[in-house]
Amino acid sequence: MKWRSLEESTTGLDTRSLREQFAERKELIARYVPAETQAVHRRVIADLKADGIESRALSVGAKAPQFELQDHNGKPVRSLDLLGRGSLVICFIRGRWCPFCVGQLEAMNQVLDQVKGAGASLIAISPQIVKQSFFMADQHKLRFPLLSDAYNEVARQFGLVYRVPEDQRAIYQRAFINLPFANADDSWELPVPATYALDRQGIVRYASVNADYTERPEPAEILEALK
């Protein structure tokens, strides 16, 4: 489902910072989402942080694994080929159903020319199937590849994968977020959101891993890392 802020719906393109956009979204959530539902999401985030998933994830200085995945048009994309052309920015997202993922990718879409100008490629990786990635790219006019990571195999190598707890799973199901359908995988596993910048040797030069899916790095921070 596409989330649009009030400002974006009237001006067509939201140029505010992600922090400002997400603050608006969080305010709406606080106002309209039942308190018990919000409490479950907060607890899952806190549990992931306490479990140390952020510290276990691939970090700066590590060598990123090589991978080959299908993009939203069903074409194979190899990380080795992308790195052969320059550095690489990777956004790991949960899926097209997540408004915070949508917000991040739309913001990155706006700076794509600057990313390319810095000699880098930009991709997003999620566990959703190719058709879902196509719908996302088409609906939001994204100009970079959305790669489908079946069974979170690549995200697992980056140390990002967790299983959605039963109570949160029930919330998603009530909201018609059907992960087994969207991902063609009944494991109910997701990656925590993460953004990486790799140099041409595949070494991580920037890493932002946050179990709180409502927080993402600003595009300006990514561009700074590419300098």
Which among 94, 100, 165 has a CA at the least distance from the CA of 124?
A: 94
pLDDT digits (tens, 9 = 90+) for 19-37: 999 999 999 999 999 999 9
| Mean pLDDT of the region 117-129 | 98
| Mean pLDDT of the region 165-177 | 96
| Mean pLDDT of the region 215-223 | 97
φ, ψ at 124 (rounded to 5°): -120, 145
**Is 10 a residue whose pLDDT tops 70?**
no
**Is 220 a residue whose pLDDT tops 80?**
yes
Confidence at 60, pLDDT banded by 50, 70, 90: very high
Quote the pLDDT of residue 162: 98
Per-domain boundaries in the chain: 15-225
Quote the pLDDT of residue 1: 35
CA distances from 101 to 46, 96, 136 (A): 19, 7, 11
- Tokens representing 163? 């299983």
| Mean pLDDT of the region 57-86 | 98
Number of Cβ within 10 Å of residue 222's Cβ equals 25
Distance of CA 69 to the CA centre of its chain: 16
Which among 106, 194, 187, 203 has a CA at the least distance from the CA of 150?
A: 187
Quote the pLDDT of residue 12: 61
**Is 46 a residue whose pLDDT tops 50?**
yes
CA distances from 73 to 46, 83, 111, 198 (A): 36, 21, 22, 24
In the chain, pLDDT over 90 holds for what percent of residues?
93
DSSP state at residue 214 = T
Q: Say if pTM beats, i.e. exceeds, 0.75.
A: yes
Quote the pLDDT of residue 49: 98
- Tokens representing 185? 């995988």
Distance of CA 93 to the CA centre of its chain: 2
Quote the pLDDT of residue 2: 39
Distance of CA 199 to the CA centre of its chain: 20
Contact 168, 44 (CB under 8 A): yes
Q: Which residue has the tokens 């080929």?
A: 81
- Tokens representing 204? 């991580």
**Is 5 a residue whose pLDDT tops 60?**
no
| Mean pLDDT of the region 126-143 | 98
Residue ranges of alpha helices (H) inside the chain are: 6-11, 18-32, 35-51, 53-56, 79-83, 99-110, 112-117, 130-139, 153-157, 166-174, 179-183, 219-225
pLDDT digits (tens, 9 = 90+) for 177-193: 999 999 999 999 999 99
CATH architecture of 15-225: 3-Layer(aba) Sandwich (3.40)
